[in-house]
Amino acid sequence: MSHDFEKIIRAADQKERKRLFISGQPDPIAMTSVLKARERGWVEPIACGSTFTGMASEMKVLCPTSGIREAREEALGLAQTEESGLLLDTGPLDAGFFSLVADKKTGHNHEHTLSYVSILIAPKDGRLTLLTDTLINNQPGLEEKIVITENAIGMAKALGIQRPKIAALSALELVNPALPSTLDAAILSKMSERGQFGDAIIEGPLAMDNAESASAAKHKGINSPVPGDVDIYLFPDLDSANLTAQFLAWVGLCPLGGVLVGAKVSLVVRSMLEPPESWPVNLALGLLL
Amino acid sequence: MYRNFEEIMVKAKEIGPRKVAVLFPDDPDVMRAARDGVKEGLIEPVLVGNRLRIEAVANEINLPLKDIQIFDQEDPQEAANLCLDMVKTGKVAFVVKGNILTTYLYRALIQATKQLAPDQVPCTLCFHEAPDIDKIFAITDPGVNILPDLALKEMILVKAVNILHGLGCGRPKVMVLAAYHGNESNPSSVRDAVALKQLAGEGRLGKCEVLTAQNLYQAFPDRNVQTEDLPDIFLVPNIETGNILVKSIDHIVLGNRQGMTFGTAVLSTPSRSDGYETRMTNLAFGLVLAASGSGEMV
A137 and A250 co-located in one domain: yes
Q: Please check whether residue A7 is in contact with residue A128, taking contact to mean a CB–CB distance below 8 angstroms.
A: yes
Residues of A in contact with B238 (CB under 8 A): 237, 239-240
* Total domains in the fold of chain B: 2
**Of B109, B72, B116, which is closest to residue B94 (Cα–Cα)?**
B109
A127 and A253 co-located in one domain: yes
List residues bridging with A129 in a β-sheet. A120
Instruction: Give mean pLDDT, residues A87-115.
Output: 76
B78 and B155 co-located in one domain: no
Would residue A228 be called left, alpha or beta, if left means φ above 0 and alpha means ψ between -120 and 50 degrees? left
pLDDT digits (tens, 9 = 90+) for A143-158: 999 999 999 999 999 9
Instruction: Give mean pLDDT, residues A71-84.
Output: 87
What type of residue is B102?
A: T
B68 and B90 co-located in one domain: yes
Our CA dihedral for A223, A225, A227, A228, rounded to 10 degrees, sits at 130
Q: Please check whether residue B256 is in contact with residue B129, taking contact to mean a CB–CB distance below 8 angstroms.
A: yes
B129 and B252 co-located in one domain: yes
- Chain B's closest residue to A253, CA to CA, is B253
B169 and B220 co-located in one domain: yes
A135 and A251 co-located in one domain: yes
Q: What is the DSSP letter of B64?
A: -
Name the least confident of A3-17, A149-163, A175-189: A3-17
* Total domains in the fold of chain A: 2
B184 in contact with chain A, both atoms CB, cutoff 8 A:
yes
List residues bridging with A168 in a β-sheet. A234
**Of B147, B130, B127, which is closest to residue B192 (Cα–Cα)?**
B147
Q: Is the pLDDT of residue A277 over 50?
A: yes
Q: Is the dihedral of CA B151, B152, B155, B157 positive or negative?
A: negative
A123 and A237 co-located in one domain: yes
Per the CB < 8 Å rule, is B255 touching A251? yes
pLDDT digits (tens, 9 = 90+) for A198-224: 999 999 999 999 999 998 899 889 999
Exposure of B93 in the CB half-sphere (CA atoms within 13 A): 24
What pLDDT shows up at residue B221? 94
- Integer distance in angstroms from the first to the last C-alpha of chain A? 20
A122 and A250 co-located in one domain: yes
B9 and B116 co-located in one domain: yes
What number of residues does chain B have?
Answer: 298
pLDDT in tens for each of the 298 residues of chain B?
Answer: 899 999 999 999 999 899 999 999 998 888 998 999 999 999 999 999 999 999 999 999 999 999 899 999 999 999 999 999 999 999 999 999 998 988 899 999 999 999 988 889 999 999 999 988 999 999 999 999 999 999 999 999 999 999 999 999 999 999 999 998 765 666 777 889 999 999 999 999 999 999 999 999 999 999 999 999 999 999 999 999 999 999 999 888 888 999 999 998 899 887 766 777 788 899 999 999 999 877 654 3
What pLDDT shows up at residue A107? 57
Bridge-based pairing of strands B233-235 and B137-140 is: parallel
A22 and A40 co-located in one domain: yes
A99 and A137 co-located in one domain: no
A125 and A248 co-located in one domain: yes
B48 and B109 co-located in one domain: yes
Q: Is B188 helix (H, G, I), strand (E, B) or coil?
A: helix
Write down the mean pLDDT value for chain B: 92
A178 and A148 co-located in one domain: yes
Cα B165 to Cα B171: distance, rounded to the nearest angstrom: 7
What pLDDT shows up at residue A1? 41
B250 and B275 co-located in one domain: no
Range of the domain at B193: 125-257
Cα B94 to Cα A152: distance, rounded to the nearest angstrom: 45
Residue, of A187 and B63, whose pLDDT is higher: A187
B146 and B253 co-located in one domain: yes
Residues of A in contact with B189 (CB under 8 A): 239
pLDDT digits (tens, 9 = 90+) for B42-60: 999 999 999 999 999 999 9
pLDDT digits (tens, 9 = 90+) for A27-44: 899 999 999 999 999 999
- The minimal CB distance from A92 to the residues B182, B215, B272 is found for B182
B157 and B195 co-located in one domain: yes
**Of B22, B287, B289, which is closest to residue B162 (Cα–Cα)?**
B289
B93 and B138 co-located in one domain: no
Predicted complex: ipTM over 0.95: no
Q: What is the DSSP letter of A17?
A: P
What CATH number should be reported for the domain holding residue A75? 3.40.50.10950
> Prior bond to B76 cis, omega within 30?
no
Confidence of residue A111 (pLDDT cuts 50, 70, 90): low
Give all strands of the β-sheet with B137-140 in edge-to-edge order: B69-72, B43-49, B18-23, B94-97, B266-268, B256-262, B123-129, B137-140, B233-235, B173-176, B209-210
Q: Please check whether residue B259 is in contact with residue B139, taking contact to mean a CB–CB distance below 8 angstroms.
A: no
Q: Is the dihedral of CA A103, A104, A105, A110 positive or negative?
A: positive
B91 and B147 co-located in one domain: no
Q: Is the dihedral of CA A156, A160, A163, A169 positive or negative?
A: negative
Q: Please check whether residue B232 is in contact with residue B172, taking contact to mean a CB–CB distance below 8 angstroms.
A: yes
Range of the domain at A231: 117-257
What pLDDT shows up at residue A50? 85
For residue B274, give every residue at least 6 positions away whose Cβ sits within 8 Å of its Cβ, in sequence order, or none.
B29, B282
B109 and B181 co-located in one domain: no
Would residue B279 be called left, alpha or beta, if left means φ above 0 and alpha means ψ between -120 and 50 degrees? alpha
Query: Distance (Å) from the C-alpha of residue B241 to the closest C-alpha of chain A?
Result: 4
A66 and A126 co-located in one domain: no
- The minimal CB distance from B248 to the residues A97, A179, A244 is found for A244
Give this prediction's pTM.
Answer: 0.94
- Chain A's closest residue to B214, CA to CA, is A243
Residues of A in contact with B255 (CB under 8 A): 251-252
Residue, of A100 and A167, whose pLDDT is higher: A167
List residues bridging with B127 in a β-sheet. B138, B258
Residue, of B190 and A127, whose pLDDT is higher: A127
A123 and A209 co-located in one domain: yes
DSSP line for A58-118: TSEEESTT--HHHHHHHHHHHHHHSTT-EEEE-S--SHHHHHHHT-TTTTTTTT---EEEE
Confidence of residue A110 (pLDDT cuts 50, 70, 90): very low
- Chain B's closest residue to A101, CA to CA, is B183
- Chain A's closest residue to B178, CA to CA, is A239
What CATH number should be reported for the domain holding residue B10? 3.40.50.10950
Q: Is the pLDDT of residue A197 over 60?
A: yes
- Integer distance in angstroms from the first to the last C-alpha of chain B? 19
Cα B200 to Cα B207: distance, rounded to the nearest angstrom: 8
Q: Please check whether residue B94 is in contact with residue B289, taking contact to mean a CB–CB distance below 8 angstroms.
A: yes
Per the CB < 8 Å rule, is A98 touching B189? no
Per the CB < 8 Å rule, is B179 touching A213? no
**Of B120, B71, B60, B119, which is closest to residue B95 (Cα–Cα)?**
B71
B98 in contact with chain A, both atoms CB, cutoff 8 A:
no
What CATH number should be reported for the domain holding residue B140? 3.40.718.10
